[in-house]
Structures are given as structure tokens and as C-alpha cells.
């Protein structure tokens, strides 16, 4: 019986990893392409949740999940064009300060617009409740979430590896000067990557609003986990982030099974071990390269 319990935690951890992935992958993408750690990434996650809440009140759940990332993506265009763009080549401390400041401004803006108290959001009735697969218990809603994450992941991978757009981005990550010499402007690609990244974060917010507390500081909450996942996975490694997200989800589940009080600490211990044994991160040897 004990083995089945553990297996159940492992499978649940995989599902949870998918959620971490939505946030961490965007963070990693923006870092690989622009060399900027976007500390405001969590703010876009929170905005995604709040936007979804507003759209859902008017149009319903499915339109909210689709339109919220689009709306936040548009905000991402402004963010990249007006702000982030100026810091790609600057001292990293500047971009960190700016995005950190922006995160605080966004959190306070949310507090001013929607109030400090958490807002109620429920799962649509049709998606609520458990699904039993053999003796395994799953949440119906999370299975849907997993399917969406897998679809998004496949889409991003395809975009980066099988399209002209992806070739330019990957070339730009490695040899921007060469890309420029070939007469290609990288700037629109940068914008697209940032839009993609913050859009994914917003999608995460929209999807997780019904099962977590929607409050102004929710962005700061998720930011730390996303950052840990990126560091464990290895900088700029697509599969590294995927692996790390899943690993963090599984390790957390198993730790909670044996030692519940250490559940949240487990990912930091994992990060510590990875940095100690393999400072580049799990798949970090292919640093700054997406494949």
C-alpha cells in the first residue's frame, strides 16, 4: 500500500510541475534572449489572474482563459518596447532594479484597483471534483490544466525548433552580431519572446485563480519557485526547465509524504544540492541554447 501512496504523490508532483513550468519557462526564455532576469514576471502572473476574473464575470470561463493571456501579452509589448528594451545591454543591476520596482508598482496597483482582500473565484461546476483512475485520485480540473500545459509546451518547442521564427531567435541567442550582419532586426523577435513569456505567466494565473487565493501578493509568491526552477534546470535550457519543474513538484510531494513540515524547504535543498554538484544546473552545459 505504501508504494501506491508514493506513486500517487509522484504522479501528483508531475501535474504540479506543469504549473511551475508555465511561469518558469517564460522567465527562462526572457533571460536567454535578453539576458534580463525579469523580477516582474510574477506580476504578470497576478495580472493574468485578475484579468481572467474580470473577463470571466462578463464572458465566462473559457474566454477568460484565452483572453487574459492575450490582454497581458499586449501589456507585455508595452513593457518590452518602453522599458525592458533599454536594459538588454546595460549593467544587470539596472534591469533588476527596474523590474523589481515594476513588480512592486504592479502589486500596489492591483491593491488599489481590486483591494487588499483576496477575491473569490471558483472552478466551473462541470470541471470540479475528482477523477478516479484505478485507485488513483486526480482532480478533474488539474488534468485539464496538465493537458493545456503539455499543449503549450509542444507549441513553444515547435515554434523554437521548427519555424523560421525559432531559427532567428536561437541564432540571436548565440550570435546576435551575426544575425544583424545578415540584415535581420532582432528587436521584433525580442518583443515576441517577452510577449510569449508574460502571456504564459498570465495563462498560469488565469488557470490557477480557481484553486489558489487571488490576492495582490500572489505574484511575489510564485516568483521564488519559478526562479528556483530556472536555477535548478540550468540557464536557458528548455528541457532543463521542464525537468526541473517536474523534479521540484515530485520532490515536494514526496517530502510532504514523509516529513510534511519540510515540504516547502525541499525545493531549496534540491537547489542547494544541484548547485553544489553541478553548478551549471541540470542541463546547463547547453547554456544559452534552446533545443
Q: Is 256 in the site for other proteins (CB under 8 A)?
A: yes
Q: Grid coordinates representing 130? A: 475528482
Give the one residue of 63, 129, 155, 188 binding other proteins; rule: CB under 8 A. 129
- Of the candidates 76, 98, 74, the one whose C-alpha atom is nearest the C-alpha of residue 86 is 98
Q: Is 36 in the site for other proteins (CB under 8 A)?
A: yes
CA distance 140 to 94: 44
Give the one residue of 73, 199, 216, 233 binding other proteins; rule: CB under 8 A. 216
CA distance 225 to 21: 10
Using CB under 8 A as the binding criterion, the count of chain residues that bind other proteins stands at: 79
- What is the closest distance, in whole angstroms, from the C-beta atom of residue 159 to other proteins in the complex? 20
Identify the residue whose cell numbers are 499543449. 151
Q: Is 253 in the site for other proteins (CB under 8 A)?
A: yes
Minimum CB distance to other proteins smaller for 5 or for 158: 5
Q: Is 83 in the site for other proteins (CB under 8 A)?
A: no
Q: Is 203 in the site for other proteins (CB under 8 A)?
A: no
In DSSP notation, 129-166 reads SEEEETTEEEEHHHHHHHHHHHHHHHHHHHHHHHSHHH
Interface region with other proteins, contact rule CB under 8 A, candidates 58-66, 77-85, 90-98, 156-164: 90-98
Q: Is 177 in the site for other proteins (CB under 8 A)?
A: yes
In DSSP notation, 1-64 reads -HHHHHHHHHHHHHHHHHHHHHHHHHHHHHHHHH----TTHHHHHHHHHHHHHHHHHHH-HHHH
What does the per-residue mask of binding to other proteins show for 135-174, with x meaning CB under 8 A? --x-x-xx------------------------------xx
Return the CA Rg of the chain. Answer: 19
Determine what percent of the chain falls in helix, strand and coil, rounding each to the nearest 5: 75, 5, 20
Length of the chain: 291
Give the one residue of 161, 163, 167, 224 binding other proteins; rule: CB under 8 A. 224
Q: Grid coordinates representing 176? A: 546576435
Q: Is 121 in the site for other proteins (CB under 8 A)?
A: yes
Q: Is 213 in the site for other proteins (CB under 8 A)?
A: yes
- What is the closest distance, in whole angstroms, from the C-beta atom of residue 257 to other proteins in the complex? 6
Give the one residue of 155, 175, 182, 273 binding other proteins; rule: CB under 8 A. 175
- What is the closest distance, in whole angstroms, from the C-beta atom of residue 74 to other proteins in the complex? 26
Minimum CB distance to other proteins smaller for 196 or for 222: 222
* Separation in Å, CA 88 to CA 24, 26, 81: 20, 16, 12
Amino acid at each position: 500500500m505504501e508504494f501506491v501512496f508514493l506513486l500517487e504523490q509522484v504522479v501528483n508532483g508531475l501535474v504540479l510541475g506543469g504549473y511551475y513550468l508555465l511561469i518558469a519557462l517564460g522567465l527562462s526564455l526572457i533571460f536567454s534572449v535578453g539576458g534580463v532576469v525579469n523580477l516582474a514576471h510574477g506580476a504578470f502572473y497576478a495580472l493574468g489572474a485578475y484579468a481572467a476574473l474580470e473577463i470571466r464575470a462578463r464572458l465566462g470561463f473559457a474566454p477568460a482563459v484565452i483572453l487574459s493571456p492575450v490582454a497581458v501579452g499586449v501589456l507585455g509589448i508595452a513593457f518590452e518596447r518602453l522599458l525592458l528594451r533599454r536594459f538588454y545591454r546595460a549593467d544587470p543591476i539596472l534591469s533588476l532594479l527596474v523590474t523589481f520596482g515594476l513588480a512592486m508598482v504592479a502589486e500596489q496597483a492591483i491593491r488599489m484597483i481590486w483591494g487588499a482582500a483576496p477575491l473569490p473565484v471558483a472552478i466551473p461546476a462541470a470541471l470540479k471534483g475528482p477523477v478516479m483512475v484505478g485507485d488513483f485520485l486526480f482532480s478533474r480540473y488539474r488534468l485539464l490544466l496538465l493537458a493545456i500545459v503539455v499543449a503549450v509546451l509542444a507549441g513553444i518547442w515547435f515554434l523554437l525548433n521548427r519555424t523560421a521564427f525559432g531559427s532567428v531567435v536561437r541564432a540571436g541567442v548565440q550570435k546576435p552580431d551575426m544575425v544583424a550582419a545578415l540584415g535581420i532586426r532582432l528587436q521584433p523577435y525580442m518583443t515576441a519572446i517577452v510577449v510569449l513569456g508574460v502571456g504564459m505567466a498570465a495563462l498560469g494565473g488565469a488557470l490557477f485563480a480557481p484553486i489558489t487565493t487571488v490576492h495582490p501578493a500572489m505574484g511575489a509568491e510564485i516568483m521564488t519557485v519559478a526562479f528556483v526552477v530556472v536555477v535548478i534546470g540550468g540557464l536557458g535550457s528548455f528541457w532543463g526547465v521542464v525537468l526541473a519543474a517536474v523534479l521540484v513538484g515530485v520532490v515536494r510531494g514526496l517530502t510532504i509524504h514523509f516529513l510534511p513540515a519540510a515540504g516547502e524547504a525541499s525545493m531549496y535543498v534540491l537547489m542547494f544540492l544541484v548547485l553544489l554538484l553541478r553548478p551549471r544546473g541540470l542541463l546547463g552545459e547547453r547554456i544559452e541554447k534552446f533545443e
